[in-house]
Amino acid sequence: MNDFYESMTRRALMVMGKTALERLRKTRVIIFGVGGVGSWCAEGLIRSGCVDLTIVDSDVICTTNINRQIEATARNIGAVKVEELAKRLLEINPSCRVTPLHASYDEQTRRSFDLDSFDYAIDAIDSLQDKVLLIEQCLASRARLFSSMGAASKIDPTKIKIDLLSRTRNCPLARSVRRLLRKGNIAGDFLCVYSEELPVAPALDATAALNDDPDSSGPDESCDGHDGATSAGPGAKKRINGSLVQVTGIFGFMLCGLIINDIVRSVR
């Protein structure tokens, strides 16, 4: 442990304790999806003392990412999201190990991810089919899964909760995930971040934009509000939703907190 790391984590050490911080330093985390939820989770983990992080996303940055995604700025439109986020995280802690994977998680790529080599997996994927596939694979692995449900079409951060998927309410995405898990006879429950706020109806101009967008498949189910290039997979319909950083950012920080609190509890 170098002097810089000890200095940057001093305030975290005062809360977590030496044993928990050392456990976090040795923990391997993988985040699937680094949009408005996953990017803030990544930032929180690195600032808290995580030094081994893999980030997975197939998108490039576009202007509509700027309102909620930490790596997106006016200067890097068109750049690869995971590469831009990795640059930022290395500016926070130059000695951390950030592995950016510009890829999707889907049926064709899932075997290229060794989930058993990670301690924690964060699901912040928008695509429903790929999300359920990732959940299934994580539940069968040694990695502890924490998942983001629907952060899009929400405005009230006080409605954000943490609970088991089976106990979520008022979340269309969580409902769809439960349905598909049952359909696939996939057993197991897991903690997720969700909002009890009913989805906010889009404004008139947003509705018109959705209706005019050939890649839109409806406003109801999305982790973040997809508006990137390829994360839904080639030829797939992309789900476009409105979303706000005061909601998506809190989702990301709460996912970060689930990992940190799990580590702290394990050593006390």
Say how far apart CA 30 and CA 158 lie, in whole Å.
27
Query: What average pLDDT score do residues 203-215 get?
Result: 49
Query: What average pLDDT score do residues 127-135 get?
Result: 97
Q: Looking at this protein, which amino acid is placed at residue 197?
A: E
**Count of domains in the chain?**
1
In order, the DSSP letters of 214-247 are TTB--SS--SS---SSSTT-TTPPBP-----HHH
pLDDT at 45: 98
Q: What is the pLDDT of residues 87-119, one digit of tens each?
A: 999 999 999 999 999 999 999 999 999 999 999
Query: What average pLDDT score do residues 116-135 get?
Result: 97
Query: What average pLDDT score do residues 47-63 get?
Result: 98
Note down the domain range covering 107: 3-10+18-266
pLDDT at 2: 86
Say how far apart CA 199 and CA 223 lie, in whole Å.
12
Give yes or no for residue 207 having a pLDDT over 90: no
CATH number for the domain including 50? 3.40.50.720
pLDDT at 224: 79
Burial class (CB in 10 A: 0-12, 13-18, 19+), 265: exposed
